[in-house]
Amino acid sequence: METMANTASAETDPMVPQLARVAAKRQDGPDVWTLDLCLEAGTWGGFQPGQFNMLSVFGVGEVPISFSGHPTDTTKIVHTIRAVGPVSRALTELPVDAYLGVRGPYGVGWPMQAAKGQDVLIVAGGLGLAPVRPVLYSLLAERGRYGSVALLYGTRSPKDILFLSELESWRSRFDMQVEVTVDHAGGDWHGRVGVVTKLINRVEFDPDDTVAMICGPEIMMRFAANRLREEGISGDRIFLSMERNMQCAIGLCGHCQMGPVFVCKDGPVFTHDFLRPLMAVKEL
């Protein structure tokens, strides 16, 4: 009898997943888990920050999930997942050593090359910190190639802050600025409270030499992008990561079509100049 590994032809058929094992898992927030996956086939080629994988739980379904680990780490694949629907919940409930399907990496990621020599301003909201964590790993791995680096992170409440120990470690560095705010908090929270856009005037950047990357709920991204434009950053320097109903991930099925593009293949990262008119169309 042929084994699954023998019959799978993931190299030739992009719709066929590779088999992966959950090597480790840790909870990063309420309903949020980070999984370290190892491919049964061995090492893999890494990814570009901002790209995503299609993860499948056998018998349940498949969902797109952004990478949240080191882009150059070819020994494991890291994904941070929030239990929102049946598939993502099943993913977060997989025990260590369980198997799942992996297709990818897919999509066009963050403009890491274009950001070289520029100030980089990252605005993340909620779980949106996960898809930009690889950006931060890349920036810090080649810190000298970039101008100032700032991360502005907003989330719901103190208990929802993702990657807390890493945020603390980044905040202690002298070569980057990290600002965190929550939408509401109890009396035991001594950090900032308010929407993430309020943090924008706490960092200094040169609008003409800044690349901004925004990731989070679409409403938050819309407000943040508009606020950055008010600060003088042009729309072709503001990048957003879009979330849509991605199913095939290769631009065939059309589920994630947004105007003239497929988010899975042409994105998920686009400039605000491109997205601005499309985001104004409620039906999209």
Choose, by CB under 8 A, the member of 201, 204, 280, 282 that binds other proteins: 201
Which of 109, 98, 4, 95 has its CA nearest to residue 53?
A: 109
Return the residues of window 145-164 that contact other proteins according to CB under 8 A.
Answer: 154-156, 160
Cβ-Cβ contacts under 8 Å for 102 (sequence gap 6 or more): 17, 18, 19, 20, 37, 39, 53, 54, 55, 56, 77
CB nearer to other proteins: pick between 179 and 266: 179
Choose, by CB under 8 A, the member of 5, 15, 24, 84 that binds other proteins: 84
Piece of the chain touching other proteins by CB under 8 A; list 110-118, 134-142, 163-171, 215-223: 215-223
CA separation for the pair 253, 61 (Å, rounded): 16
Q: Is 131 in the site for other proteins (CB under 8 A)?
A: no
Distance of CA 170 to the CA centre of its chain: 18
Q: What are 244's two structure tokens? A: 């849509």
Question: x/- contact string, 21-60, with other proteins (CB under 8 A)?
Answer: ---------xx-----------------------------
Q: What are 65's two structure tokens? A: 């999930």
CB nearer to other proteins: pick between 79 and 237: 79
CB nearer to other proteins: pick between 96 and 193: 193
**Contact assessment for residue 73 and residue 100, using Cβ atoms and an 8 Å cutoff:** no
Return the residues of window 246-275 that contact other proteins according to CB under 8 A.
Answer: none
Q: How many residues bind other proteins (CB under 8 A)?
A: 36
Q: Is 223 in the site for other proteins (CB under 8 A)?
A: yes
**Contact assessment for residue 160 and residue 182, using Cβ atoms and an 8 Å cutoff:** yes
CB nearer to other proteins: pick between 51 and 88: 88
CB nearer to other proteins: pick between 135 and 162: 162
CA separation for the pair 87, 247 (Å, rounded): 13
Q: Is 167 in the site for other proteins (CB under 8 A)?
A: no
CB nearer to other proteins: pick between 139 and 215: 215
The CA R_g of the chain, rounded to the nearest whole Å, is 19
Q: Is 126 in the site for other proteins (CB under 8 A)?
A: yes
CA separation for the pair 153, 122 (Å, rounded): 8
Choose, by CB under 8 A, the member of 219, 230, 252, 277 that binds other proteins: 219
Which of 132, 140, 213 has its CA nearest to residue 172?
A: 140
Q: Encode 116-135: b = buried (16+ Cβ within 10 Å), e = exposed.
A: eebbbbbbbbbbbbbbbbbb
H or E element: which one contains 53? strand 52-57
* Interface residues toward other proteins, by CB under 8 A: 30-31, 82-85, 88, 125-127, 154-156, 160, 181, 183-187, 189-195, 197-198, 201-202, 216-217, 219-220, 223
